[in-house]
Amino acid sequence: MKPLISIRSISKSFTKGKTTITPLDGLSLDVAKGEFISLMGPSGSGKTTLLNLIAGIDTPTSGEIIINDKDIATLSRAQLTKWRSAHVGYIFQLYHLVPILSAYENIELPLLLFKMGKKERRKRILTALELVGLSDRADHRPSELSGGQEQRVAIARAIVHNPEMLVADEPTGDLDRDTADSILNLLKQLAEEHGKTIVMVTHDPKAAAFAHRSLLLEKGKFIDSNKSAIETPTS
């Protein structure tokens, strides 16, 4: 099966003073449609850099990032912004909900970027709320929700425009174990039942275990459990 995400020999470098820092060095990776992968590694290993490149938040110094047949590494900043709004949903550790808006209104925000009637927006929002199990919390503001419920609203906001890919940066880092597990089960459901391709950064091995595949990064390269370099795709 053709991968949704196909990364070939990407490197990312930047200069800090007189020092050149290379958080990613010649990395290659394939991710299938509907696959849920986790990225692990120590601080500075390159996992968040890789996540940002896949999401089109940043651009590589060299290499290809082909997502659904489009090499996003060749896009301009303006083109990347437009591409992200249509194809990527974001889930972060600290929810980033607007405090004065209800759950419904927070979920509605991404849809305001599209030409869409109020009836269609409402249909999508209610569907997203139902999917994350919060149909009865549509009118509640973030302060009236638990941490787990806030993250579910954030997930609903991430999926309401029906992106093909979700990127999650420590999505359960601020939650207790039981609540974290419920969120991770929801992410797995989105991959397995709704075909969402999910790339998640986590420091938590228990969170990583929910993914279909867990990859370990160290000094900008994938490694295996024996600390040797993993062979990556070349074609």
pLDDT tens for 141-167 read: 999 999 999 999 999 999 999 999 999
Specify if 211 maps to a domain.
yes
Tell me if 43 sits within 8 A of 26, measured CB to CB. Answer: no
Domain span including residue 77: 5-223
User: Is residue 234 predicted with pLDDT exceeding 50?
Assistant: no
Number of domains making up the chain: 1
The CATH number of whichever domain residue 149 belongs to comes to 3.40.50.300
- Whether 84 maps to a domain, the answer reads yes
Residue 232 lies in a domain: no
- Residue 235 belongs to some domain of the structure: no
Residues 156, 162: contact at Cβ < 8 Å? no
Which band of pLDDT confidence, cut at 50, 70 and 90, is reported for residue 91?
very high
Considering the domain boundaries, does residue 30 fall inside one?
Answer: yes
Residue 42 domain flag: yes
Q: Is 230 contained in some domain?
A: no
Residue 74 inside a domain? The answer is yes
Instruction: State the angle between helix axes of 177-194 and 147-159 in degrees (0 to 180), rounded to the nearest 10.
Output: 20
Is the confidence at residue 235, as pLDDT, over 60? no
**Percent of the chain at pLDDT exceeding 70:** 94
The pTM for the full model equals 0.89
